[in-house]
Homo-oligomer: A and B are copies of this chain.
Amino acid sequence: MTGGALIGIDWGTTSFRACLMDARGNLLDQRLARAGILEVENSAFEEVLEREVGAWLAAAPDLPIVASGMIGSRQGWVEVPYLRCPTDARAIAAALSPHVTTRGRRLRFVPGLTVPGDLPDVMRGEETEILGALRDHPAATLFLLPGTHSKWARVAEGRIEGFATFMTGELFAILKGHSILGRLMAGTTFADLAFARGARVGLDPDPAKGGLLHRIFSARTLGLVGDLAPDDIESYLSGLLIGIEVREALAFGSSPDRRRQVVLVGGTELVARYDRVLSSAGVQAIRAAPSAAARGQFHLAQLAGVLD
């Protein structure tokens, strides 16, 4: 395609999203495929690349490619060592890991980030989305990326100072799929009031209400005493878990100043749920543009000087 200057790929565990951008970072075309690294057999990553973006490369064989996400992990194509926080776009760009395929395609893999310590933390892919969202919100200091493992990142003057992972999405999925709470659930429609109620219970800072291990049992007992309909249990539990996450995340590692505003990154329906809970918690949620990953890949390519 004429005018293409960069291919950015957000290549995660379950999905593959490629964007063709022009020299100013405008989106020219995109490809979305269920070709996450877990879906690719025998590490046939090069075949997936050619299949998905071969048409773009046919027109311009030398197009640089920046790939972020789990593709740079031990289970991915090339393992790129984690970069330690605090770090910034310039340091990440300097650590892009180059790779030339058998067909001569020139890839650069984005390193993930780590927070060292007693309880270390890691991310791969989200750092690029944060850098992209930062382009639109340069003064923001707290970023939230909901998902299976949601990430909260603290940023100051363009530097990612640290972050924390919360296993909320995965916990919700396994409680729904495999616990007694899931067996009590009926219906699949989102129940607005039940979600809000769960969120209130999750956000409640009263220690007399107990922690997560105790509070989630209310999804059973409220049903048992006839105070929560089976149709409402799923939405209640969703609100409850997100409420607990928001309370925990705001309480730890965030200065009171930071707790006023959060940039919400992501394009899923989940983002709308977090938006509501943040608002209940008195935090202003600012939704980042859905193309954060591509914006970040473009910015890294610029800083690394690969666009010329």
Whole-angstrom distance between the alpha carbons of A212 and B165 in the complex?
A: 11
Whole-angstrom distance between the alpha carbons of A214 and B116 in the complex?
A: 15
Residue of B nearest to A247 (CB): B211
With A210-B248, A212-B213: A218-B120 Cβ-Cβ less than 8 Å: yes
A159 within 8 A of B: no
Chain A residues touching B, range: 35 or more
A251 within 8 A of B: yes
With A167-B216, A217-B166: A120-B210 Cβ-Cβ less than 8 Å: no
B212–A212 touching, CB < 8 Å = yes
A94 within 8 A of B: no
A168 within 8 A of B: yes
Among A48-56, A132-140, A177-185, A283-291, which stretch is in contact with chain B? A177-185
CB-CB under 8 A from A216, the residues of chain B are 167
CB-CB under 8 A from A175, the residues of chain B are 171, 174
Instruction: For residue A287, give the distance in angstroms from its CB to the closest CB of chain B.
Output: 23
Instruction: For residue A253, give the distance in angstroms from its CB to the closest CB of chain B.
Output: 6
B120–A166 touching, CB < 8 Å = no
Q: Which of A216-253 contact B (CB under 8 A)?
A: 216-218, 221-222, 224-225, 227, 241, 244-245, 248-249, 251-253
Whole-angstrom distance between the alpha carbons of A225 and B114 in the complex?
A: 10
With A213-B212, A213-B245, A252-B209: A174-B168 Cβ-Cβ less than 8 Å: no
Whole-angstrom distance between the alpha carbons of A245 and B224 in the complex?
A: 23
B178–A221 touching, CB < 8 Å = no
A164 within 8 A of B: yes
A215 within 8 A of B: yes
Whole-angstrom distance between the alpha carbons of A233 and B207 in the complex?
A: 29
Whole-angstrom distance between the alpha carbons of A119 and B252 in the complex?
A: 25
Q: Which of A136-180 contact B (CB under 8 A)?
A: 149, 164-168, 170-171, 174-175, 177-180
CB-CB under 8 A from A218, the residues of chain B are 119-120
Residue of B nearest to A207 (CB): B252
Determine which of B179, B215, B221, B241 lies in contact with A170 in the assembled complex, contact meaning CB atoms within 8 Å. B179
B214–A166 touching, CB < 8 Å = yes
Whole-angstrom distance between the alpha carbons of A177 and B210 in the complex?
A: 26
B221–A166 touching, CB < 8 Å = no
A122 within 8 A of B: yes
B248–A211 touching, CB < 8 Å = yes
A100 within 8 A of B: no
Whole-angstrom distance between the alpha carbons of A161 and B215 in the complex?
A: 19
A63 within 8 A of B: no
Whole-angstrom distance between the alpha carbons of A13 and B158 in the complex?
A: 55
B122–A168 touching, CB < 8 Å = no
With A119-B218, A120-B218: A174-B179 Cβ-Cβ less than 8 Å: yes
Residue of B nearest to A197 (CB): B118
